[in-house]
Amino acid sequence: DCPIARLPDCPIARLPDCPIARLPDCLLACIHMNAYPLADTVARARDLTDADRAAIAHQIAGGIAGEVRADRYNRLLYATDASLYQMEPVAVVFPTSAADVQHVLRIASSAGVPVMPRGGGTGLAGQTVNHAVVLDFTRAMDKLIEVNVEERWTRVQPGIVLSELNKQLARHGLQWGIDPSTQNRATIGGGVGNNSCGAHSVVYGKTIDNVLGLEAVLSDASLARFWPMSGSALEAKLTQPGLEGDVYRRLQSIGREQREEVERRFPKIMRRVSGYNLDDFTREGEPMDVSRMVVGSEGTLAVVTEAKLRLHPVPKVKGIAAVHFTTLIEAAEATVAALEHPVSAIEVIDNVLVTRCRQSTGFRHLASFVEGDPGGILFIEFAADTEAEVVAGMQALNDDLQRRKLGYATVTTTDPAFQRDMWRMREAGLGLLMSVRGDAKPVGFVEDTAVAPEKLPQFIARFQEIVGANGTTAAYYGHASVGCLHIRPMVNVKTAEGLATMEKIATEVADLVLEFGGSLSGEHGDGILRGVFNERMFGPTLYNAFKEVKRAFDPGGLLNPGKIIETPAFGENLRLGPETKNWEPVDTFLDFSFEGGIARAAEQCNGQGACRKHDGGMCPSFMVTREEEHSTRGRANLLRLTFSGALPQSELAGDRLFEALDLCVECKACKSECPSGVDMAKLKYEVLAQRNLAHGTPLRAIAFANIAALSRFGARFRPLANFAGRLGIARLFLEKAGGIGRHRPLPVFAKQSFPSWFKRHVAKTGTKRGDIVLFHDTFTDYYHPEVGKAAVDVLEALGYRVVSVERTACCGRPAVSKGLLSKAKQWARQNVDALLPYAERGIPIVGTEPSCLLTFRDEYPDLLQDEASKTVASQSFLLDELISKLAREDESVAALFRDDLEREVVLHAHCHQKAIVGPEPTLETLRLVPGYKVRLIETSCCGMAGSFGFEKEHYDVSKAMGSLRLFPEVEAASPDAAIAITGVSCRQQIGHFTSRRPRHAVELLAEALRE
C-alpha cells in the first residue's frame, strides 16, 4: 500500500542514489509510515481537530527555543492578511534561529501539515495565509547582523522591518533601496518572498536585483546557502547527493528544456514578479544562483532565515515635482516624456484618491498642495548631490512638459517635510480607498498589473472600458515609471453578483495584460489571487515547468502549498463573501449608523497592517509587545470574527476578547492614522459596555468613572488626602483592594481649587470679543488650577469675558473609557443642556484638557444622537485651536506676547488632540511668542492614558510606551528647555519617569503675555 507508486511524478527516479537509508527524517519515508500523500497536506491541515493541533504544537515546542501557540484565538489572528482570503492555521511559531525552523519542518513533515513563513502579513494576494504552521519572524528573528560599509552590503534576519533597517543603515549613509508603500511594517523576508519593488525601482530595480545571497531551510529540514556559483563550486553542487543537489540538477535541466518557451512567453518588462524566475536559469555559461529562484517564490520553495543584501548611498538632496493633469491618460502620456529626464521615481494617483484624501480627517492636510480637481497627478522625484541640480532638473522637466502641452499645474519642492507629506498621500492610497463606508469597496483583485510604460495610456483606456462595461468604477494609482498600476474596481464581494463581477473583470484583465505583453503581478505577487491565472499567462508548458520547480524543492508539498501554482479557486477561502452573515447586539449604546453598524465598523479593517508600524502614534501597545492581537488589525479581526459567527456570540463579553482589547489605551491614533478609518477606541467602548451588561461593572471601573465626584470629595480633606497618598501602607492597600499600582504617584490636591479661585477673580476690563465659555475639567479644578488661571489670563488678554458655567456633571470621558456608557450619556445630556444656550448664540466653548473637551466633539453626538449635541460640538474648541485661528485672522494677537524671551520649548501633544485636531494649533500658538523655539516630539501615547497607567497590571506596559521615544527625547532636551504638554496624563507620566517637570502649553503662553 505504499503511496509512492501512485505519485504522478516519483522523485526517486531522478535521484542518483536513494536517500532513504541516510536521512533520519526522509519525506518519502514519512509518506510510507503515515500512508498518505503529502500533496494533500492543506486538506489534512484544514481538517485537523483541536487536539491534533495541540499535539503538533506540543511536539514543536519540545525542540525549539521560540514560542508556539495553537489556541483558537491566536490561530484566527493569523488567518488573514491584507488580501481577500482567510485560512485558519494549524499553529503559530515564533522561531529564534534557523535551528528552530529546521525542527518545525521536521515535525510538520512527520505530521503531514504545511509550513508557511510570514512577515508583517501585508500580502495582497493571499500568499501569507494558509492551513499551515505559520512561522512569524517579526518577534525574534528581526536583527541586523552585519554591515560592510566599504562594499555596501548587509546581512539581516527575515523579520526586520524595512524602515527600521534603513534607520540603522542611515548612520552609514546607506539604505536598502526597495521601498514599497508598506515599508514601515513590511519585512525583508516578505520582500524576498514577494520580490518587492517600490517607488524607486526605476533606479534600484527589484528585490532580486539586490539580493547577494540567502540562507534558507529546505523542505527536508536541511540548511542551505545560496549565492552565485560557477566552476568547481557549481560542479560540486550538481553532484551533491540529497535534496539540495537535486535542486541544482533539476533547475539546470528545467532551464535548458524551457529556454525557448521562456523567451517566447515571459513578459519583456522589468516589473514581472509572476510565476517562478525560470528566466534566470536559461542562460548557458553564466553563474548559477539558486537564491534568484527563491526570491519571489512566496515561501513555496524554501524558508529564508538570513539574507545578504546590496545597499545604496542615501541621496543627498531630493525634490518632487507634483504635475497636475486633466485626465489620468494624459498623466500616463506624460510619464513617457518624464522618463527622458534623470528621474528617481514617477508615481501616479487619480482623482478618486485625491477626493478620498480631501474627505479624510486624518489625511486631509496631505492634499493641501493639490490645485483644482485633477484627473491625475504625477509625483516626479529627482535626486542629486546638490539642491541646485535638483531644482535644475525639475525646471527642465517643467519646460519640457509645457512645450508638449502636458499638465495644467506643477507644484515643486525640495523641502523634506513637504516631500514626506506628498509620499504619505501616495502611500496611504490603499487604505484611503478602502475607507469608503458600506459593503461595496475598491477591491484589490486586479491591483498589480504591469506593462511597458509606453503602453500605459492605451492600457489604461482599455482597462477603463472593461471596468465600465461591468457596471462599476475604479481607482488608479501606482508606479508609473515602470508601468505598474494598482487599479481597484468598486465591488461588493458580499453578494453573489458582486463576486461574479469580480471574477469576470479579473478574467478579462488577465487577457488584456496578456495582449499587452505585461505581467499580472508587478510587485504584489501571485498567491492565490493571480496564481489561478498563471497557466493562462504563461501557457501549459511553462506552467508544468513551474510544477517541476516546486517538486524539485518540495517533493512533499510541505512549503506554503497552493500558492503561485495549483491554487484553490479564485472565490474560495474568502474573508468576506456572499455567505457572510453578521449578527449584532440588539442595542448599542453608541451610534454606529455612519459605519453601517458595529459589525461593519470591525469589517472596515482590510488587513493592510498600518497599525504594525514602529513610528507615529498607532498602535502604542503593539509597539511595546509586538503581538498581533495588540494591533488595531488584530483586535478588529477578532471582533469581525465574533460578529460573523466564527467565534461564539458570547465571546463579545468574554474574557479572551477583553484580554485582546485590554492594552488598547484608547488613544484614538487609529482614528486618524489608520487609512481605512478603523476607530478601535469607539469599538472598545461599546464592547466594554456590553461586557458590563453581561457580567456587571468592576468596582475599580466605577471608581475611575466617578473621578470627578471622588476628587470633589477628596478636595474637602486636602491635607489628610495628600498625606495618606504619600504613605506606603495606604498605597499598598489601594493596590491590594483597588488594583491601583503602588509605584505610581497619586495626584496631589491643590491648596485652592480653580472654581474657588474663579469666584474671587476680578475680570479685566475690555471685552471686545464678547463672551467665551471656559470648560474647566476635573484635574484643572482640583489638581492643577494653575492651568485654568493661565487660560483665563490668556483669554482676557485676547479680549474675552470668561464665563464659567455652573455644572454638576463630569465631561464623561472616564466613564466612556470604562464602558459606563449609560452614565456617560446621562452626563453628556446634562452638559449639553447647560452649554446649548451659549452654543446656539455662537459663543465659543473652550477647554485646555483634550480628553475632556474633545469628548464633546467625538463621543457626545454618538451618545445622544441629536441636533443639540451636534450644535455644542460645533462650538467646542481647544484653547490652542481658538488662538491659532484668531492669530491668522488678526495680526494684533501676536502683539500680545513679549519679544524679549529666548527659550527652547519641546512639545508633547496629547493623543486625543493629535488624533482629532492635530498638534499644529499648539505649535502655531506657542510660536506666536517671538523668542520661543518650538519643536514637536514625534511620539505615540505617553503611556498614562487616563487611568490606564494607574492600574497595577498595566504599570510596566505604561512605562514601556513612554520609554520608546518620549522619555529619551525629554531627557535629551537642553536643561533650560521648557517641556510643554497639553494633557494631564502626559504631565503625570513625564513627571514620574523623567527628571523634568512639564508644564501645560497655556502656562507658557500666559508667562509670555506683555501684561
What is the per-residue pLDDT across 7-36, written as a single tens digit (0 to 9) for each? Answer: 444 444 444 444 443 333 444 444 333 333
d(Cα 410, Cα 194) in Å, to the nearest integer?
35
Task: Determine the distance from the C-alpha atom of residue 91 to the mean position of all C-alpha atoms in its chain, rounded to a whole number.
Answer: 24
Residue 665 has what DSSP assignment? -
pLDDT at 130 over 70: yes
Q: With CA atoms as reference, report the closest residue to 362 among 635, 670, 681.
A: 670
β-pairing, 845-847 with 770-775? parallel
8 A C-beta contact, residue 133 and residue 113: yes
Pairing of strands 876-878, 932-936: unpaired
Q: Given a cut of 60, is residue 791 above it in pLDDT? A: yes
pLDDT tens, 209-259? 999 999 999 999 999 999 999 999 999 999 999 999 999 999 999 999 999
Q: Which residue has the cell 550538481?
A: 238
Indicate if the pLDDT at residue 149 is higher than 80: yes
Per the CB < 8 A criterion, the answer to whether 149 and 169 are in contact is no
The residues near 382 (Cβ < 8 Å, ≥ 6 apart) are 318, 319, 320, 321, 341, 342, 343, 344, 389, 390, 393, 394, 397
pLDDT of residue 647 exceeding 80: yes
CA distance 724 to 475: 62
Return the CA Rg of the chain: 30
Q: What is the pLDDT of residues 426-438, one digit of tens each?
A: 777 656 777 778 8
pLDDT at 867 over 70: yes
Please report the pLDDT score of residue 430 as a whole number. 59
Cβ atoms of 187 and 177 within 8 Å: the answer is no
Q: What is the pLDDT of residues 956-980, one digit of tens each?
A: 999 999 999 999 999 999 999 999 9
Q: What is the pLDDT of residue 444?
A: 87
CA 419 – CA 163 distance, rounded (Å): 17
More confident residue, 475 or 208: 208
CA angle 196/606/909 to nearest 5° reads: 90
Q: Are 295 and 207 in contact (CB under 8 A)?
A: yes
Q: Predicted confidence band at 453 (pLDDT cuts at 50, 70, 90)?
A: very high
CB atoms within 10 A of CB 523: 28
Question: How many C-beta atoms surround the C-beta of residue 779 within 10 A?
Answer: 26
Q: What percent of the chain has pLDDT over 90?
A: 87
Cross-strand bridge partners of residue 412: 321
At residue 796, does pLDDT exceed 70? yes
Q: Identify the DSSP state of 414.
A: -
pLDDT above 70 for 467: yes
Q: Which three cell numbers stand for residue 312?
A: 545604496
CB distance 119 to 186 below 8 Å: yes
Helices (H) and strands (E) in the chain, counts: 45, 27
Assigned C-alpha cell, 499? 463576486
Which region holds residue 597: left if phi is over 0, alpha if psi is between -120 and 50, else beta? left
pTM equals 0.91
d(CA 661, CA 975): 39
Query: Would you say 197 and 479 are in contact if contact means Cβ atoms under 8 Å apart?
Result: yes
Q: What angle do CA 799, 784, 717 make, to 5 degrees?
A: 130
For the ranges 17-21, 94-98, 111-115, the lowest mean pLDDT is seen at 17-21
pLDDT at position 429, please? 64
Q: What is the percent of the chain with per-residue pLDDT over 70, rounded to a whole number?
A: 95
Minimum mean pLDDT among 26-40, 167-181, 226-240, 488-502: which range? 26-40
Task: Answer yes or no: is pLDDT of 1003 > 70.
Answer: yes
**542-560 mean pLDDT:** 96
What are 868-922's pLDDT values in tens digits? 999 999 999 999 999 999 999 999 999 999 999 999 999 999 999 999 999 999 9
Nearest 10 degrees: Cα torsion 397, 399, 400, 402: 120
- Where is average pLDDT lowest: 68-82, 546-560, 759-773? 759-773
| pLDDT band, residue 37 (cuts 50/70/90) | very low
Average pLDDT, the chain: 92
CA dist list (Å): 40 to 35, 886, 996 = 12, 70, 62
- In tens, the pLDDT along 391-401 reads 999 999 999 99
Q: What is the mean pLDDT of residues 618-642?
A: 96
Q: How many CB atoms lie within 10 A of CB 367?
A: 20
What gap in Å lies between CA 388 and CA 762, rounded to an integer?
59
Across residues 792-816, what is the average pLDDT? 92
Dist. CA 567–CA 882, nearest whole Å? 58
**Closest Cα to residue 355, out of 339, 374, 333?**
374
**CA–CA dist 125, 136 (Å, integer):** 18
